[in-house]
Amino acid sequence: MNEISFEKMHGAGNDYVYVNGYKYNFDWSKLSESISDRHFGIGSDGLIIAMPSKIADIKMQMFNSDGSEGRMCGNGIRCLVAFAIKNKLINKHQNQISVETLSGIKKVEPIWENNVMVAAKVAMGSPQFSPKSIPILLENMTDISNYPLEINGNILNISCVSIGNPHCVVFTNEDSKEFDISTYGPLVETHNLFPEKVNFEIASIKSRDYVAVDVWERGSGITMACGTGACAVTAIGIKQQLLDTKVTVRLPGGELNVSWTGRDEDEIILEGPVETIFSGIYNFV
């Protein structure tokens, strides 16, 4: 029997189990499957490990609940920094923390209240709209905007972008709560147009600075929030002149603030909360 100490944290309901990878070394993919199980494990959208980095202040390694490794998580990276500061893996007095991810180095700016990190801003990189960068198997197109994708005999007008990982967005005039994302999510995620699978968002624009979003994450299914998904919806909405440059994104688990100038070379900025749920010891075989 093995045991590992952990903290469970969430950003707008997007919950992960956090582990000190400076101290432990296990089969993280296998552990993520068991630890994420909401009946037989701790229960989470996945597992995030704080690891040492040679090129940044710290490294984030993340795994989805199905054991697949993720490239980037906008909600997870904020909580990772809070976890690392609390466990004295990085210096809390830094104004900006650099985090190595599979999608490159991201800069995180902690937000403090009463000497407690309660939120953070993350420079998420610049949105990538080309089919190759997403990736999506559509040639001779500069970007994917309102492309008619047939699912179960219905046409979804999809728009796609990479925010460190691939996203497919559908804007609907209906309240996104009325859309059956549990039906369409897995079908879009595994569609043969997406060689690396894809995250799927259904967005309902309420005003030019407020949008409601439901999320299906590749490898995890329906989640309460998705930071890169919030950025994807905002970036596409701005590019299509549906949204202003500063947007509040309402997700089932809470609200995230996203801003982007609309210029291809500029980074998109995500701001959201950080909360610790509980900590403990997990025993496993």
Positions marked catalytic? 73, 226
Residue 108, judged by CB atoms within 10 A of its CB (0-12, 13-18, 19+), counts as buried
